[in-house]
Amino acid sequence: MRCNIQILCFVILGFNSDSFAQRIQAAQSTAIFSAIKGSVSKPDTIALYATRGSDLMGKLKISGEHSSFFVQVSSTPKRLSANEQQHLIFVFKPSENFVGIANAELTISGMSEPVKLIGLSTNGLEGENEAPLSRVVEALGYTPDIGWTTLPNNLSPTLQGSELKPTLFQKANEGMVEMIPVARYSPDFLLNFGYYVPSSRGPVQHQAGILAKADKYPEHQTLFPAVAHGSTSFDPGQNTFGFYAISPGHTVYSEDVWNILLYPTHANHAMRIYPLRSQHGEIRNSYLVCMEEAANGDYNDYVFIVRNVKPVPLDDEFVALFNGKNLAGWYTWLQSQGKNSDPDKVFTVEEGGILHDQGSELGYIMTERSFGNFHFVLEFRWGQKRYPPRESNKRDSGICYNISEDEPDHIWPQSIECQIQEGDVGDFWLLDYSTIQVDGKQNSPSPHTQMIKRTDAESPTGEWNTVEVISFFGKCVHIVNGVVVNYGENASRVGGKLLLQSEYAEIYYRNVRIRPL
């Protein structure tokens, strides 16, 4: 037997024993069920309270468009003494040709407000038979803008509807954080879920509970899936944390970076998180966490409500590498001039914190400090000018990273390069005998080796592009405009300085930031 009182409904308090209209009170305003069409749902309980002696015999009525779908299966209602309660058990039995949300009302003579009965009926088990996330959320009684209404959507990190920007969380107030499973439409297996704390070695998992496999009812294709073990609450203390769930094949994390690094063949953007809203407005410190187990972008695989949390935007975790005024924290090196000698102002910082590289000299600017594991982000846009001997070539630049502190300045230091060149943004270049494995194949050490990106995602020349480089214990990832275009492992270079190349083409950089991992 299941009761979802604590999840979606409220307890009605303040009984008035002198009012006939309120002799009977329900402990909840809504009861919500789910079932496959033509089958019977898990039972749910509606608790009734008497504020004074009252006879329930013959006073219960189910009405509304889909009243025939809701059936009482408990014992016959009885006379209740003052302050006595009775639990009535109902099931949802949608017809064999009904798919969607069914609505009815339970009314009792002497009760001021009816109990709304809501049932979600799906076409069958798994695949295209499932309910779209938007319909799931509607059945639960919430009103966030999901952003699409079909079953499949996409896996793009582009925000959908009222989706929250990429974020971690902290506890909002004293007490426990709740992580309540409210829907699951996935294959059938035990599902470990909980929270993780980022660390220098990666995400550290803390299990909360385990969702059950199917038994008498299909727990993998239902609202309010059963918890087989553990709890739906936890105390993370003062830690900043994210959420995770473990399927037999992989783990999904609320931070894209861990999905990209640890499970590159699965969804990178594996969770969409929405501020929780009802018809009465936003629900404070509460969010809807929607997880993608497969690759069709439906995000209804595992759905949780989390409570007593506040967001920590991931943007706040990044540190700007330019102060917007000068090149503090970097040094210049030009092949014709050496270190920190730039008489022709090849590198300048312009209004708005934009780094302008004229490109007239072969060289670079390099960070003065080293970084271990990191997530590096910048935006670039090509200028108009090109210079001999490449005035007719593709415009060219690059981000070189994992450069040893004792590496001498030259063209080019031993490093791994994320290519920035027209049509080739995101290629690996392995410089000065560095190596990496891509798709299980390692390049032969040589002065320079190109390993071409798997897909093209750059914007047309003249438009701004966002490029991200992730380096984590020998795993290297290149992301262009939100798309993972290259992934390498077992890199020979791990950690170090970064540089931005100048290669005979004018280029502009902005929003140059880094986040240690």
Q: What is the pLDDT along the chain (517 residues), one digit of tens a residue?
A: 444 433 333 332 333 333 434 567 777 889 999 999 999 999 999 887 776 555 554 578 899 999 999 999 986 666 666 666 778 899 999 999 999 999 999 987 767 789 999 999 999 998 899 999 999 999 999 999 999 999 999 999 999 999 999 999 999 999 999 999 999 999 999 999 999 999 999 999 999 999 999 999 999 999 999 999 999 999 999 999 999 999 998 999 999 999 999 999 999 999 999 999 998 899 999 999 999 998 899 999 999 999 999 999 999 999 999 988 899 999 999 999 999 999 999 999 998 889 999 999 999 999 999 999 999 999 999 999 999 999 999 999 999 999 999 999 999 999 999 999 999 999 999 999 999 999 999 999 999 999 999 999 999 999 999 999 999 999 999 999 999 999 999 999 999 999 999 999 999 999 999 999 9
Q: Is 210 helix (H, G, I), strand (E, B) or coil?
A: strand
First to last CA, the chain: 45
CB 194 within 8 Å of CB 234: yes
> What letter would DSSP give residue 111?
B
**Dihedral sign of CA atoms 46, 51, 52, 58 in order:** negative
DSSP string, 225-259: PPEEEE-SEE--TT--BEEEEE-SS-EEESSHHHH
d(CA 188, CA 170): 31
d(CA 433, CA 431): 6
HSE of 15 in the Cβ direction (CA atoms, 13 Å)? 18
CB 187 within 8 Å of CB 221: no
Strand ranges (DSSP E) for 37-188? 44-50, 54-55, 60-63, 70-72, 79-80, 85-92, 100-108, 115-122, 167-171, 177-185
d(CA 19, CA 25): 12
The predicted structure's pLDDT at residue 351: 86
